[in-house]
A = this chain, B = another copy of it.
Amino acid sequence: MSIADPIERALSRSGHRLTAPRRAVLDTMRDLGNHFTAEDVQHASPAVGRATVFRTMKLLRDLDIICQVVLDDGAVVYQLNEEDDSQHHHHVVCSECGKVAEFASDGLERVLDDVARATGFEIDAHRLEFYGRCAACHAR
C-alpha cells in the first residue's frame, strides 16, 4: 500500500517506522502552522512522551522535514519545510504575529563572492534570516 502523505512517505522510504506518536507529532506541527519549539509540540500533544518529541524532532531535522529558524533574539525554533522545498531557502519572520515566509536567495551570490574575496574564506554554506512585519500586520 502506498502512503498518501508526502512526509509520512518520506519517513517510510528512508527506512523509519510510521508510528502513532510520529503521526501525532507531525499532525501537531501542521496544526501549529507557524514555527514552534519542542515545548510547543509537547504541550499540544500531551499524549506523546517528552523524550519521543525530542527524538522525533531530531529525526525530522536530519531528514530535512523541519528546519531551524533563528529569531531576532537568537532563539532557535523549528518549522515544517514547505512541500518539496527541502531545498536551501531562507526565512522572513514577522516580529508581530510570528508568521514566517520562505524565499530562495538569488542575489546572494554576489555578496558571497565579495566576502570570499575580502576574507580569503572558501564559503560553502550560509544562513540568512530577515525580520520585519508581514503585509497584514503592516497594514494595521
Contact status A122-B118, CB under 8 Å: no
Also in contact, A138 and B111, with CB within 8 A (given A126-B130, A127-B128, A128-B128): no
A136 to chain B, nearest CB (A): 9
**Chain A 112-136 per-residue mask, 1 if CB under 8 angstroms from chain B, else 0:** 1011101111111111111111110
The tally of residues in A whose CB lies under 8 Å from a CB in B reads: 38
Contacts of A72 in B (CB 8 A): 125, 127
Most buried by B among A101, A110, A132: A132
Contacts of A131 in B (CB 8 A): 123-127
Let me know if A7 is at the binding interface, CB within 8 A: no
Contact check, A111 vs B105: say whether CB atoms are below 8 A apart: yes
A24 at the interface (CB under 8 A from B): no
A116 contact set on B, CB distance < 8 A: 132
The answer to whether A126 and B125 touch (CB under 8 A), given A105-B111, A120-B134, is no
Q: Is A31 an interface residue (CB 8 A)?
A: no
Residue numbers of A with Cβ under 8 A of B are: 68, 70, 72, 74, 76, 92, 94, 101, 103, 105-108, 110-112, 114-116, 118-135, 138
Q: Please give me the 8 A-B residue pairs with the lowest Cβ-Cβ distance, nearest first.
A: A120-B135, A123-B132, A125-B131, A107-B111, A101-B119, A121-B132, A127-B129, A126-B130
